[in-house]
Structure 1
Amino acid sequence: MRPSPAIESLRAQIEKIEGRGRRVQSVLPFGISDMDSRLPSKGLALGALHEIAGGGNGAIDGAAAALFAAGIAARTRGKVLWVITRQDLFAPALAQAGLAPDRVIYVEAGNDKTVLACLEEGLRHGGLGAVVGEVTRLDMTASRRLQLCAEESGTVSIALRRWRRQTEAADFGQPTAASTRWRISVMPSAALPVPGVGRHRWLVELIRARAGESADFVMEACDAAGRLALPAELVDRPASAEGRRRGASG
């Protein structure tokens, strides 16, 4: 039975108050059907906060997480604010993932509190394509502030989780207001018929999606346009082979 006009009007008012209407209207599809089908509105929500971390505590997985974030930012329009805590971000690598150096505004911050403040200011600006910030800890209060600022501006916000010590990584499992939570791990690249290194491969884990499904995918790393790709041997497989549903929640 169709809800009465009064009920539909009330729902619309609630969505407006909570900012949900804006999140539904604008999405950034990955262009890979099995990934997009696990996300609300068939894509990554713009005007929302997303968390990304490396699958392990090492530099290699951490670099893959940064490149995954760069690929998302590369496919937005406008400048990208990237707030760093360590001077180890390699701009040429971001360019290979589609994020050109002239699009990035770098800000160096000394601690999580300053990073979060810079992200909020960037989101309130309203004219940026994306804001990315490296943070160790992210609690519900701070993440909720970022989520609300992102909803208001329509700018995608990415919390790139980085840890100096293994014990700090446990914070990634704590509840936050982020719309999605991703974990990226490096996998062996495909063997080539000639000497050399093939396109990098990642295990991309969607471990939380608000109103969506968790899953994991084997993907070829972002290309010069910021796009992921299915490995050739997986293209013709059934969807169940491309992504496996995971029971993890966050």
Structure 2
Amino acid sequence: MLPSPNLAVLREAVRRLEAGRRKHAGLLPFSVAALDEKLAGGLALGAVHDVAGGEGAADDAAATLFVAGILARLSGPVLWCLARPDFFAPGPAQAGLAPDRVIYAEVREEAARLASCEEGLRHASLAGVVVELSRLSMVQSRRLQLAAEEGGGLGIVLRRWRRAGDAAGFSQPNAAATRWRISAAPSVSLPVPGIGLPRWRVELLRCRGGGTADVILEACDEQGHLGLPAGLADRAFGARRRRA
């Protein structure tokens, strides 16, 4: 009787086969060294990325604008699969994502939103597809990842929690290439009365084949670009880093 093959060897063989079939669609750099170095050059196209806000409404808004800024730096139409009719188009427009580039699809059932996202990702004519979900399983994310590899565009899962307990599922493993958490951070104080530039805490919690990051950045400008505030270069936010 032949001995059983080593499981680790089999997994490595499967990984190499999948890598050989995968399309190399390129990278979208942030032009922020603290992020691009951990991403091996930038955000992978032809892949799915998982994004969530922190704990409050301001964090949810920051996460939405973070996603809009990414899409603003791509060329072509965008499909956004909405969970609820509360999308405020002028907000993403300030991050560079013009409303006339976005195709809005309001789909109440998560299964139907996933199907719409998967179909959109297979179309090479779309620059990116966003789907708002509360949960994302390994099987679901794998289907989306395969569709993104086929179409070559950018897929983003934007978490929208129905209940506070749903956020606990964000730490569960899935097939997304990266996982992010975006939170609003205090603005820099101005020497005169007024509102300072908005800033975000940007956490790269997981990156397939890369590292993690936890930095304070200036929010997206009108071209979708993030900025590293003066005086914060090479500094992480907080003493401890959380892992997904």
TM-score by length of 2: 0.89
Hey, what's the Cα distance between the residues in 1 that align with 2:78 and 2:237? 30
CA–CA distance in structure 1, aligned partners of residues 239 and 127 of structure 2: 31
The within-5 A match list for 1:208-223 is 208-223=206-221
> Who is 1:15 aligned against?
19
Name the structure 1 match of 2:223. 225
1:34–1:242 CA contact under 8 A, matched in 2: no
Q: Distance in 1 between the 2:105 and 2:18 partners?
A: 36
Give ranges in structure 2 of 5+ residues lacking alignment: 1-14
Q: Is residue 123–residue 149 contact of structure 1 (8 Å, CA) maintained in 2?
A: yes
Tell me the equivalent position of 1:187. Answer: 185
Measure how far apart 1:247 and its partner are: 5.8
RMSD between aligned alpha carbons? Answer: 2.0
TM alignment of 1:32-71, pairs within 5 A:
32-40=32-40, 42-56=41-55, 58-71=56-69
User: Could you tell me how far apart the structure 2 residues matched to 1:202 and 1:105 are?
Assistant: 27
Q: Which residue of 1 is the match for residue 84 of structure 2?
A: 86
Which structure shows the bigger proportion of residues in helix conformation?
1
* Residue 112 of structure 1, aligned match among 90, 110, 113: 110
Distance (Å, rounded) in 2 between the aligned partners of 1:245 and 1:206: 16
Instruction: Report % sequence identity.
Output: 54
Give distance in 1, aligned partners of 2:98 and 2:239.
Answer: 34
1:50 corresponds to which letter in structure 2?
H
Deviation by residue 1:34-62 (Cα, 9 ceiling, x = unmatched) = 2100013x100000000000011x21111
Counterparts in 2 of 1:77 and 1:172: CA distance versus 1, 3 Å: same
Cα distance, 1:72 vs. partner?
0.5
Cα deviation per residue 1:169-207 (whole Å; 9 max; x = unaligned)?
A: 111011100000000010111112232212110000000
Are 2:65 and 2:95, in contact at CA under 8 Å, matched by a contact in 1?
yes
Q: State the shift of 1:233 in Å.
A: 2.2
Residue of structure 2 equivalent to 1:7: none
In structure 1, list runs of 5 or more residues that go unmatched.
1-10
Distance in 1 between residues matched to 2:88 and 2:184, nearest whole Å: 17
User: Displacement, 1:16?
Assistant: 2.1
